[in-house]
A and B are shown apart, each in its own frame.
Chain A
Amino acid sequence: MLKLMLRQLLHHPVRMLLSMLMISVALLLGFVIKGLSNGVMQEKVQRTQGIGADLMIQPPHSSYILGLGENVMPDGLAQKLTEINGVEAATPTATNVSFTNRLEAIFGIDLPSFSRVTGGFVYLQGSPFSGPYTALVDDVYTRTHHVHLGSTLNILDHRFTVSGVVEHGRGARVFVPLKTLQDLLAPGKCAVIFVKSAPGSPIGEVENRLRHFAGGALEDYQITRMSDLATLITPSSFLGLRQFLLVIVAFAGVINFLVIFLALYVQVLGQTRELGILRALGASRRYMLRLFVGEACLLCLFGGGLSLVLYLLTRTIVLSIYPALHFLLPAGTVLRVGAIALASAVLGGAYPAYRASACEPITALAYE
Chain B
Amino acid sequence: MNNRTGIDNAEPRALIEARALTKIYDGAPGAPPAVSALNLKIPAGQFTAVMGASGSGKSTLLYLIAGLAEPTGGEVLIDGVSISLLGDTARARMRNTRIGFVFQRFNLLSFLSARDNIDAPRLLGWKARSSPKSIDGLLAAVGLEKKRLRKVSELSAGEQQRVAIARALINDPDILLADEPTGNLDSRNAEAVLDLLLRLKSDLGLTIVMVTHNPEVALRADRIIQMKDGSIERELMTGQIEPLQEGIQRLEGGFPH
Chain A positions within 8 Å of B, measured between CB atoms, are 1, 3-4, 7-8, 10-11, 273-274, 276-287, 360-362, 365
A279: B residues at CB distance < 8 A: 68, 92
In the complex, besides A280-B103, A281-B121, A283-B96, 18 extra interface pairs with C-beta distance below 8 angstroms are A1-B123, A4-B123, A7-B116, A277-B108, A277-B109, A278-B109, A280-B66, A280-B68, A281-B95, A281-B120, A282-B121, A283-B92, A284-B92, A284-B93, A286-B89, A362-B68, A362-B69, A365-B103
Within 8 Å of chain A (Cβ to Cβ): is B252? no
Within 8 Å of chain A (Cβ to Cβ): is B124? yes
The contact of A274 among B63, B110, B121, by CB within 8 Å, is B110
Measured CA separation A279–B92 after assembly (Å): 7
Inter-chain contact B63/A287, CB cutoff 8 Å: no
A287: B residues at CB distance < 8 A: 92, 124-125
A286: B residues at CB distance < 8 A: 88-89
B123: A residues at CB distance < 8 A: 1, 3-4
Chain B positions within 8 Å of A, measured between CB atoms, are 63, 66, 68-69, 88-89, 91-93, 95-97, 101, 103, 107-112, 116, 120-121, 123-126, 167
Measured CA separation A221–B123 after assembly (Å): 69
Measured CA separation A141–B101 after assembly (Å): 75
Q: Taking A287-B92, A362-B68 as contacts, is the C-beta distance between A282 and B107 under 8 angstroms?
A: no
Inter-chain contact A274/B101, CB cutoff 8 Å: no
Nearest B residue to A7, CB-CB: B111
Shortest 7 CB-CB distances between A and B: which pairs?
A: A282-B96, A11-B111, A284-B92, A284-B89, A361-B68, A282-B95, A277-B107
A282: B residues at CB distance < 8 A: 92-93, 95-97, 121, 124, 126
A1, A280, A283 — which one has the most chain B CB atoms within 10 A of its CB?
A: A280
Measured CA separation A285–B90 after assembly (Å): 11
Measured CA separation A131–B235 after assembly (Å): 117
Inter-chain contact A274/B109, CB cutoff 8 Å: yes
B109: A residues at CB distance < 8 A: 274, 277-278
Measured CA separation A278–B121 after assembly (Å): 8
Measured CA separation A158–B92 after assembly (Å): 83
Inter-chain contact B124/A278, CB cutoff 8 Å: yes
A359 vs chain B, min Cβ distance (A): 12
B159 vs chain A, min Cβ distance (A): 18
The contact of B112 among A1, A7, A284, A285, by CB within 8 Å, is A7
Measured CA separation A257–B130 after assembly (Å): 36
Q: Could you tell me the dominant secondary structure of chain A's interface residues? A: helix
Nearest B residue to A282, CB-CB: B96
Nearest B residue to A291, CB-CB: B124
Inter-chain contact B107/A280, CB cutoff 8 Å: yes
Inter-chain contact A1/B125, CB cutoff 8 Å: yes
25 CB-based A-B contacts, threshold 8 Å: A1-B123, A1-B125, A3-B116, A4-B120, A4-B123, A10-B111, A274-B109, A277-B107, A277-B108, A278-B124, A279-B92, A280-B68, A280-B95, A280-B101, A281-B167, A282-B93, A282-B97, A283-B92, A283-B124, A284-B88, A284-B92, A287-B124, A365-B68, A365-B103, A365-B107
B93: A residues at CB distance < 8 A: 282, 284
A360 vs chain B, min Cβ distance (A): 8
B103 vs chain A, min Cβ distance (A): 7
Nearest A residue to B100, CB-CB: A281
Q: Taking A7-B111, A8-B111, A365-B107 as contacts, is the C-beta distance between A281 and B96 under 8 angstroms?
A: yes
B142 vs chain A, min Cβ distance (A): 17
Nearest B residue to A361, CB-CB: B68
A362: B residues at CB distance < 8 A: 63, 68-69
Measured CA separation A277–B123 after assembly (Å): 13
Nearest B residue to A273, CB-CB: B107
Inter-chain contact B89/A274, CB cutoff 8 Å: no
B102 vs chain A, min Cβ distance (A): 11
B128 vs chain A, min Cβ distance (A): 14
A274, A278, A284 — which one has the most chain B CB atoms within 10 A of its CB?
A: A284
Nearest A residue to B112, CB-CB: A7
Measured CA separation A279–B68 after assembly (Å): 8
Measured CA separation A154–B124 after assembly (Å): 72
B24 vs chain A, min Cβ distance (A): 14
Inter-chain contact B111/A285, CB cutoff 8 Å: no
A323 vs chain B, min Cβ distance (A): 48
Nearest A residue to B103, CB-CB: A365
Measured CA separation A10–B126 after assembly (Å): 24
A276, A279, A283 — which one has the most chain B CB atoms within 10 A of its CB?
A: A283
A281: B residues at CB distance < 8 A: 95-96, 101, 120-121, 124, 167
B101, B107, B109 — which one has the most chain A CB atoms within 10 A of its CB?
A: B109
A285: B residues at CB distance < 8 A: 88-89, 92
A3: B residues at CB distance < 8 A: 116, 123
A278: B residues at CB distance < 8 A: 109, 120, 124
A282, A283, A284 — which one has the most chain B CB atoms within 10 A of its CB?
A: A282
Measured CA separation A363–B223 after assembly (Å): 30
Q: Taking A281-B120, A282-B97, A362-B69 as contacts, is the C-beta distance between A11 and B110 under 8 angstroms?
A: yes
Measured CA separation A8–B109 after assembly (Å): 10
Measured CA separation A1–B66 after assembly (Å): 23
A273: B residues at CB distance < 8 A: 107
